[in-house]
Structure 1
Amino acid sequence: MSSFHKTSDSRATISGTKVKNNLPIVSSGIPSLDHVIGGGLPAGSIFAVEEDVLANYSRILIKYFLAEGVACKHDLFVASADENPEDIVKELPLPTTIPQDDEVKAMAVDVNKMKIAWRYEGLTQVESSFGSSTSFGHHFDLSKHIDTDTIKSCNINDCKLDMDSGDSKGFKNGLYYKLLTSIKDAVSKEEYKSSVKKNSNVLRISIQSLGSPVWMAMDCEQEQDGSFGQDLIKFMYCLRVILRDTNAIAFVTIPSHLFDDDHIMNRLLYSIDNAVRIESFAGSSRETNPVYKDYHGLFHISKLSALYSLVPFVPPSLDLAFKLKRKKFVIEKLHLPPELQETKEREQDDITSVPVNCGGFKKKDIDF
């Protein structure tokens, strides 16, 4: 009975990590995102974001992920075929420890709050914003960028994917082979292996817009023979094999709304550990809908993994929405506001609800 004993994991000593299910967990850079996916991103996993139509908010999530790596002194690997990776790194948000404007106002309201109904004071407060009180990870200010000297002091590998791909070896599109080879060379270093006891570190891999029209334009024959989806699925499977049993985490954004075949994303989810989807209100009818006036879009959870666990994490709510404030990105529980404006339907209801002996006046016209 005494043969079972607790083993110490050397990976727990890595800066900016915590251990869960015997796996190092890193922060995504957004406390509310860490909260809804189970505490953070486990080492050796793939986290995918299905981009919004304009890809504005997915870019912000990547910048948070990389900025958290800079704050924790993790190594970075930045790859993109749509943008220059050096330009992405130059716009990382600055870490901050000072409470932001909306948080200061919230604290002031708590101190000087009005006691409207004493019977509700004993009820628990409904948590709308997640991860606001967590001590794991950092908070960032989107209005400020990390200085150039700090960026230069970090270990950052850039992988610019251009049309001159060279050899493909098993892929119709040479960009996938080039990116996969670069990631394999980076992960194969000794400090990223899970078995290393000393001088170990975390490698944060970010891939922006994997499978975008730039990838499709590499070879026009891919759309004719259907090899585009095959290359993408094969790449994701190979990436999963490479990252297992390492201290590397891949953060991938995918423009799934541009895929002609809906089954491509469903097959990709087999190789992805955690996946979310961003549905922006920009350009849609919901943008002007007063019901969603407090939010900029909906936040959907596509898949949550159960690494080293029998059951996956269950988030507190699946009805999630996000909003981009002046200085931060926040994921909250979706609350629909009550109908407060006077509409024709409500006025008609008021008229029919008044007794006949009152003369048919509206409720608001009756003076009590």
Structure 2
Amino acid sequence: MAFRKRNVALSRNDPSLTAEPQSSPTSPSSAAATPQTIPGIRPSPVDGRPTTSTGTPSLDAILAGHAGLPLGNSILFGETGTTDYAGALLRFYAAEGVVQGHKVHVVGFGEGWGRELPGLSDKDESGRKRVNEADKEKMKIAWRYEGLGVFGSRDKGAATNRGSDSEAVFCHAFDLAKRLALPVATAINYIPVSRTGGSLFSAILQNIQRHLESTPPETIHRIVIPSLLSPASYPPISSQPQCVLQFFHGLRALLRRYSTRLTAVVTFPLTLYPRTTGLVRWMEILSDGVFELAPFPYDYRQALSTSAAATKEEERPQGMFAVHKLPVWNEKGGGGAVEGLGEDLAFVLSRRKFTVTKFSLPPVEGDTEAQEAAVHAASGSAMPNKKDLEF
């Protein structure tokens, strides 16, 4: 019967010891093998592909269930009329990229466009005032223990680490009434559009490809193209199918080649180029996501403002938001059923944010019950109706 003396230290070469792995979970080798998280990127809840935010939470929520724009995809926003509501979506998209440290490429506009990016809001999406990390620590720790970290270096370092640990934000809240302070001059790459020559689109693609090749593999790039084919920025030859469709083919090739680093958002004036033309239909086919903004006439917006359904200034819709195509909607069904996607959608642009909401017609003037229900729904009141109280 084998036995061993007690209180005897085991040597390292003892054969009775079981084999253990060389590296522990806290070893430097295992820590180096763990992939580092990129700011502004998170996996899709549908299939795990990397996604980034468009800067508008309500728009992220309807992108085929991915809760963001999948990398390697593009979105085309068409807008009717002479308004520029889609330009606000572009500015949110560019501002989110600047805040996250991504490389933003703006086509056809100069530094004046970048100086109009919205600044960070001091309130979250629910309207509550944002609290910084230092105030959170003060609320967690009692006032009599607040100064304990000053006396000991270990305690002081621990308190500093607690204050510096902050949760990564996927989509920031922006305020159109503020202006974003650009961190460095190279945060945005402004690509001019040549007014002469037919190779203007190839020069744009070559500029973006040079930046993609010269930056590290973990750098995320965003392409912003406001008012594509607008006569104010593009020459007449750019609207020829052999020019613009070749550009969309090249942009799609770049997105597929750098499928983990690049996204693109384009706005397009549908008043000059209707969706019934073959040129626009091919542009939509070559884009991964297609949305349309149709602003309401002024008379209809006045009717909505005086109706019982509009009790708040921010809840008056300015137009309809149509979804024609979603990115990564594959043969398996894409992101599944998105809440409210089958219903009519409208967009609301206030002084501070852009929101995509469900749309419903205001109640008839004589229908008092519907008017009361609309007022309760708009004010967020949880008061039950008289009909609900009856047994």
**Which residue number corresponds to residue 140 of structure 1?**
174
Shift of 1:307: 6.4
- Offset, 1:136: 3.3
2:358 aligned partner, one-letter code? K
Tell me, in whole angstroms, the C-alpha distance in 2 between the residues paired with 1:339 and 1:104: 34
Give the equivalent residue in structure 2 for 1:28.
54
Aligned to 1:42: 70
The secondary structure found in structure 1 opposite 2:88 is helix
Deviation at 1:208, TM superposition (A): 1.0
The one-letter amino acid paired with 1:14 is I
Equivalent AA in structure 2 for residue 174 of structure 1: S
Across the aligned residues of Structure 1 and Structure 2, the Cα RMSD in angstroms comes to: 3.0
Structure 1 residue 35: Cα displacement: 0.5
Structure 1 unpaired stretches of 5+: 1-7, 106-134, 166-172, 344-368
Instruction: Go from structure 1 to structure 2 and tell me whether the alpha carbon gap of 1:342 and 1:96 turns closer, same or farther (over 3 Å shift).
Output: closer
- Provide the secondary structure at the position in 2 that maps to 1:257: coil
Aligned length: 281
Structure 2 counterpart of 1:333, from 340, 358, 382: 358
CA contact (8 A) 1:187 1:243 kept: no
Q: 1:317 offset after TM fit, Å? A: 2.0
Give yes or no for the alignment of 1:229 onto 2:241: yes
User: Deviation of residue 309 (structure 1)?
Assistant: 7.0
- TM-score w.r.t. the length of structure 1 is 0.68
Deviation per CA, 1:292-334: give whole Å up to 9, x if none.
Answer: 8621111111101226773223432241111112211111111
Counterpart pick for 1:177 among 176, 186, 202:
202
Q: Equivalences for 1:1-368 in 2 at 5 Å? A: 13-20=37-44, 21-37=47-63, 38=65, 39-80=67-108, 84-99=109-124, 103=127, 136-147=170-181, 150-152=182-184, 155-165=187-197, 173-191=198-216, 196=217, 200-214=218-232, 217-219=235-237, 228-246=240-258, 247-259=261-273, 262-281=277-296, 283=297, 285-290=299-304, 294-306=316-328, 310-313=332-335, 314-318=337-341, 319-340=344-365
Q: Distance in 1 between matches of 2:83 and 2:33?
A: 38
Confirm or deny: 8 A CA contact 2:193 2:233 kept in the other structure: no
> SS in structure 2 opposite 1:289?
helix
Shift of 1:262: 2.0
Whole-angstrom distance in 1 between the partners of 2:114 and 2:199: 25
8 Å contact kept, 2:195–2:234: no
- CA distance in 2 between counterparts of 1:277 and 1:254 reads 9
Compared with structure 1, are the counterparts of its residues 58 and 298 closer, same or farther at alpha carbon in structure 2 (3 Å cutoff)? same
* 1:136 alignment partner AA: F
Corresponding residue number in structure 2 for 1:365: none
User: SS of the counterpart of 1:326?
Assistant: coil
> Is the 2:124–2:173 Cα contact (8 Å) retained in structure 1?
no
* Superposition TM-score, scaled by structure 2 size: 0.64
Residues 78 and 270 in structure 2, CA contact (< 8 A), matched pair in contact too: yes
Taking a change above 3 Å as real, the CA distance of residues 164 and 151 of structure 1, as seen in their structure-2 partners, is farther
Distance 1:9 1:153 in 2: 34
After superposition, the Cα gap between the structure-2 partners of 1:182 and 1:70, relative to the gap in structure 1 and judged at 3 Å, is same
Contact 2:98 2:187 in 1 (8 A): no
Q: Which runs of 4+ in 1 moved over 3 A?
A: 8-12, 214-219, 288-293, 340-343
- Structure 2, unaligned stretches of length 5 or more? 1-31, 130-168, 311-315, 369-391
Cα 1:69–1:209 change in 2 (3 A) is same
